[in-house]
Chain A
Amino acid sequence: MSLNLATETQNWPGPDSAAARIIEPPRFGRWLCLVAVAVGLIWIAYQLLTNPGFQWDIVGRYMLDRTVLRGIAMTIQLTFLVMVIGAVIGVLVALMRMSRDPFLNFCAHGFVWFFRGTPVLVQLIFWYNLAALFPQLQLGIPFDGPKFFEISATVAISSFTAALLGLGLNEGAYMAEIIRAGLLSVDAGQTEASKALGHRPWQTFRIVVLPQAMKAIVPPTGNQLIGMLKYTSLASVVALHELMHSVETIYSRTFETMPLLIVAALWYLILVSILSVAQFFIERHYLKGWQAETPVPMQVPLQA
């Protein structure tokens, strides 16, 4: 406190002060780079404005086109659901991999090995064509036992369910590894202290370990989320009407390929920007307790 008061009452040294002056050396390299970057940006801006190939009028016409907007809605919906599926599978598989039970460990290992090891495009097409292997999906006792429930594969597996399964299972495998890394980053002493206080296993996980692991989980998950937003465009191969597929259907009819790809790129950029802002706030939330000390006036008075 006394230190603060002292600096507040002192005036900044004036021109006649005896305190030594410190001069920054000139940084020519920085100026040179600035010029190079500026020239590059001006060239890009010039091209964007004058090159007729961009067809900005067409870009403008399609930015808010109904088909495009419906594609965006599908992209957002698919990204959200896939990430939820991925997170749930990820938590379960991560916990299984960290379990001392060798069987659970083996199952989790196998899951990650398979779904991380095969291309997501192949998985998508595989799920979409599941009917070729299993024309009828049945729930019952295997090897010709009784059937409780039966449905035609072509009915059960739409473009949407194929995309959910393909992307969701793949994402689950990656999320499992991210979550496992996060859980491993929390000191074992935290679990011990929580146990010693009588927390039940689930409480230890949810109240003590997970909130601390989130600090390590959020940045790569943000990365995954942004990646997934764009990976949903792979679902265009199973004829799902997400953003990419919707611009494809338009330019395959009108041959305005360039402007429509720009429409898609701009929309992806806008969505990613929104997600990046959200990530910033989520990261800040989980840094609670790790930041520099709260300034004194913000602390609640404790003793009445």
Chain B
Amino acid sequence: MTAPGLPDGAEVPLVRISNVWKKRGGNIVLKGVNLVAEQGKVMCLLGPSGAGKSTLLRCINAIELADRGMIYVDGVAIGCRQEGDKFIRLSEREVSRQRADIGMVFQSFNLFPHMSVLENIIDAPMRVRGESRAVATQRAHELLERVGLAAKASSYPRHLSGGQQQRIAIARALAMQPKLMLFDEPTSALDPHLTDEVLDVIKGLAASGMTMIVVTHEVQFARELADVAAVMADGVIIEVGPARDVLTRPQDPRTRKFLAKSLQDHA
């Protein structure tokens, strides 16, 4: 399959963000963003707060809606139905089908507090995918094992530490067997001594070949993890390229300033 607007034979990127604009209140938060994320690669999205990183990420699974421009995941226009060169907004119900294939992990975990850990993980596979309880439970236990929390299946989120909750949230997203994982500052709400257990899980996931887009403040983590780094400022991508280049030899002065500042903060 070839995505529209790409030369024949070019590898189709899993995510293609094409000239995306978004207004919120009187502010323009995204100003014509273009970005691609390749299959099986990890992309870190960096930049000062207020740059529009989280907004962009949330547009990828239509939790927020772009006002202009289009985002394609696996060649499919997100949030819209394509008729020729026209895009017609889908209903929430139709969008929910697109979201099922995109996993998302939030800064504040957002586990469902009235459900046990196991129920959190098996609910969507059962209700959205129509899997049997046995199959969903089986995979839930495998995922809990993978994030190192096999003993917590019957606990309630409230009784777990932040690091444990975030690892459960990752397991919950993986239970849907997504083709893409989005992370919105997954460690920003955690105590510093709890971040490593979450970062280790994310690194393990990267090693398994999952396509990921990670919004993060942690430059060090981006260095270790990312194949590609994209830097945003004021609603546009100011620099994008192989992570080792962008994070060690930044071209844009704003990137240099951002990197210097975040290294200072961690010193």
Contact = CB atoms under 8 A, between A and B. Distances in A.
A185 to B, nearest CB: 12
B61 A196 contact: yes
16 contacts: A190-B112, A193-B106, A193-B112, A195-B96, A196-B103, A196-B173, A197-B99, A198-B100, A198-B101, A199-B124, A200-B96, A211-B114, A289-B157, A293-B155, A293-B156, A293-B159
B173 to A, nearest CB: 8
A208 B112 contact: yes
Nearest to B129: A198
A197 B124 contact: yes
A198 B99 contact: yes
A192 B114 contact: no
A207 interface: yes
- Most B C-beta atoms less than 10 A away, residue of A193, A208, A288, A302: A193
A200 B159 contact: no
B114 A197 contact: no
A213 to B, nearest CB: 10
A289 B158 contact: yes
B124 A299 contact: no
B63 A201 contact: no
A75 interface: no
A9 interface: no
Interface of B: 58, 61, 63, 92-93, 96-97, 99-104, 106, 108, 110-116, 123-124, 127-128, 141, 150-151, 153-159, 169, 172-173, 176
A47 interface: no
A301 to B, nearest CB: 9
A264 B58 CA distance: 59
B93 A192 contact: no
Contacts of B93: 200-201
Given A190-B112, A212-B114, A293-B159, A196 B127 contact: no
Interface string A278-304: 000000001011100100000110110
Contacts of A223: none
A187 B108 CA distance: 11
Given A196-B104, A197-B99, A200-B93, A189 B128 contact: no
